[in-house]
Amino acid sequence: MKKINVGLIGLGTVGVGVVKILRERKTLLSEKIGVEINIKKICDKDITTKRKVTLDKNILTRNANDILNDPGIDIVVELIGGIHPAKDFIVEALNKGKNIVTANKALLSQEGKELFAHAIERGKNIYFEASVGAGIPIIKSLREGLVANRFNSVFGIVNGTSNFVLTEMSVNNRPFADALAQAKLKGFAEKDPTLDIEGIDSAHKLILLVYLCFGKFVDIKDIFIEGISRVSLADVNYAKELGFAIKLLAIAKKENQELELRVHPTLIPQDHLLASVGGVCNAIYVSSDLAGELLFYGPGAGQLSAASAVVSDLVDLTQDIKAGLFRPTLKAIQDQSLNKLRAIDDIKSRYYIRFMTEDKPGVLANISGVLAKYGISIASVTQKEKRKGAQVVPIVMVIHEAKEKSLRQATSIIGRLNIIKEKAVAIRIEDV
Ligand code: HSE
């Protein structure tokens, strides 16, 4: 049986998972694919700490060049994360005629355009299934299963940490800080959770989804990003009363030849499938012209889940190598019906708005007067009774579709009225 040699760079959690799967499923895999996948070398800066897998010491190295310069290695798996030296290793491996598997969404979202072009030039591929949704086969589904489709929109819950925090707030009535502490305690959130909580990780993943769906490599600056750190428990609960769940959504939406790209906390109807995606689970809801509306759902993180995706990429590559084929899977064909990205000011949305105001005659008239001036129509309004001892009352509104720019102007003017005691909260509503 043909043996295909792999060099693994990065023996962290996912790397150990890959070694485990390839070892424990060796017979199953070779029977299924007709090729033996052999890990020839493993590189990590720490090769002394014991891992939860038995390793042959002879294949361990601290020097990535031992992998990059080995002509017997066909595929390099990069699992160290970050930009450098990961990028340098990938470029060098491509230069040496190797194919790549990586889970590095931060790197691909920033440098993917260049790396993919370089790979195509070299007649090699970069596979990256584990970079979005861990073991959920979303990349392969978009690239292959839905290859003949044009896409209208993608809505993703693609960050498990944020989804866990929002779920804790909603289900266990915990304020944001407590919910985040809980996520850290359970090992879901990093010590510095900024990338996850502030929507940056979701934006990295959105860049890859947009590339696959619309054939366009966008810059992170093209995406409007707002994280969940300012979502309050009060808003989670008011939203619930109104029939909505709050989710951090990564959104790509095509309308009139323009593409909207945004990541922000979003109210979605409680009866929508995405609203029931809880904890660290991820889900990607895709609207396609031939296959219709599809939902991909499952754990968005975890050792074996991410490693399962890495192994599936390895299998794909082994089949091409065995057949002596080069499939240009990285080639992007841009959706010709798109001609520009829509600025956040120009989007239209329904909104949930909460004002904190004095409780006296004329307050509502004042607020609605300004909204009317900006052409904003109120769909529903509730004023909560003043809590004992409180100086202010919440006025919670849902407004009909309005332009983002008008909403910002109106809330800024309302914010300057004496009756307003705190900055207004506005959260976009998507009917998905
Ligand atoms: N940090 C990510 C998350 C997992 O919380 O979803 C890896 O993509």
pLDDT, tens digit (0-9, with 9 covering 90-100), for 337-364: 998 999 999 999 999 999 999 999 999 9
272 C-alpha to center of ligand 1: Å? Answer: 23
- Is residue 301 lining ligand 1, measured as CB closer than 6 Å? yes
pLDDT band (50, 70, 90) for residue 92? very high
Could you tell me if the CB of 430 is within 6 A of ligand 1? no
pLDDT by residue (tens digit) across 94-130?
999 999 999 999 999 999 999 999 999 999 999 999 9
HSE on the CB side for 255, CA within 13 Å? Answer: 12
Is 423 known to be catalytic? Answer: no
Distance CA 136, CA 413 (A): 45
Q: Which residues contact 269 (CB under 8 A, 6 or more apart)?
A: 243, 244, 245, 275, 431, 432
- pLDDT bin (cut points 50, 70, 90) of residue 3 is very high
In our burial notation (b when 16+ CB lie closer than 10 A, e otherwise), range 314-353 reads bbbbbeebeeeeeeebbebeebeeeeebbebeebebebbb
Centre of ligand 1 from the C-alpha of residue 160, in Å: 5
Which pLDDT does position 388 carry in this prediction?
Answer: 81
Mutate to test the pocket of ligand 1, among 128, 159, 165, 186 (most ligand atoms within 8 A of CB): 159
Closest to 251 in 3D by CA, of 294, 284, 217: 284
Q: Where are the alpha helices (DSSP H) in 146-266?
A: 160-172, 176-185, 194-197, 200-214, 233-241
Q: Which atom of ligand 1 is nearest to the CA of 188?
A: 5
Atom nearest to 162 CA in ligand 1: 5
Q: Model confidence at 386, in pLDDT bands (50, 70, 90)?
A: confident
Active-site residue, from 205, 247, 253, 254:
205
Cα of 176 vs centre of ligand 1, distance in Å, is 18
Residue 381 phi/psi, 5° resolution?
Answer: -145, 140
402 pairs with which residues across the strands?
349
Q: How confident is the model at residue 332 (pLDDT cuts 50, 70, 90)?
A: confident
* Predicted pLDDT at 385: 76
Strand partners, 398: 352, 380
State the DSSP code for 289: T
Confidence of residue 263 (pLDDT cuts 50, 70, 90): very high
**pLDDT over 90 (residue 51):** yes
Structure tokens at 293: 């509306």
Per-residue pLDDT, 297: 98
Does any ligand 1 atom lie closer than 6 A to the CB of residue 160?
A: yes
What is the per-residue pLDDT for 387?
80
Q: Compare 43 and 301 and report the one with higher pLDDT.
A: 43
Is the C-beta atom of 208 inside 6 A of ligand 1? no
Averaged pLDDT, 306-326: 96
Maximum C-alpha span of the chain = 84
- Number of DSSP helices (H) and strands (E) in the chain, helices first: 14, 17
In ligand 1, the atom with minimum distance to the C-alpha of 105 is: 8
The pLDDT tens digits for 162-218 are 999 999 999 999 999 999 999 999 999 888 999 999 999 999 999 999 999 999 999
Tens digit of each residue's pLDDT (9 = 90 or more) over 207-257: 999 999 999 999 999 999 999 999 999 999 999 999 999 999 999 999 999
Instruction: Kindly state if the Cβ of 196 falls inside 6 Å of ligand 1.
Output: yes
Phi, psi of 225 (to 5 degrees): -125, 125
Q: Is 300 in the pocket of ligand 1 (CB under 6 A)?
A: yes
Q: How much is the mean pLDDT over the chain?
A: 96
pLDDT score, position 74: 98
pTM above 0.75, yes or no: yes
Q: What atom in ligand 1 is closest to the CA of residue 131? A: 8
Predicted confidence at residue 391, as pLDDT, reads: 85
Cα 302 to ligand 1 centre (Å): 9
Q: pLDDT at position 69, please?
A: 98
Strands 75-78 and 99-102: parallel
> How far lies 62's CA from each of 57, 58, 67, 214, in Å?
12, 12, 10, 40
Cα–Cα dist 186/168, whole Å: 12
Contact 298, 136 (CB under 8 A): yes
Ligand 1 pocket check for 199: Cβ under 6 Å: no
Ligand 1: nearest atom to the Cα of 205: 8
CA nearest neighbour of 359 among 338, 384, 324: 384
Residue 149, pLDDT above cutoff 80: yes
The tens digit of pLDDT for each residue in 277-293 reads 999 999 999 999 999 99
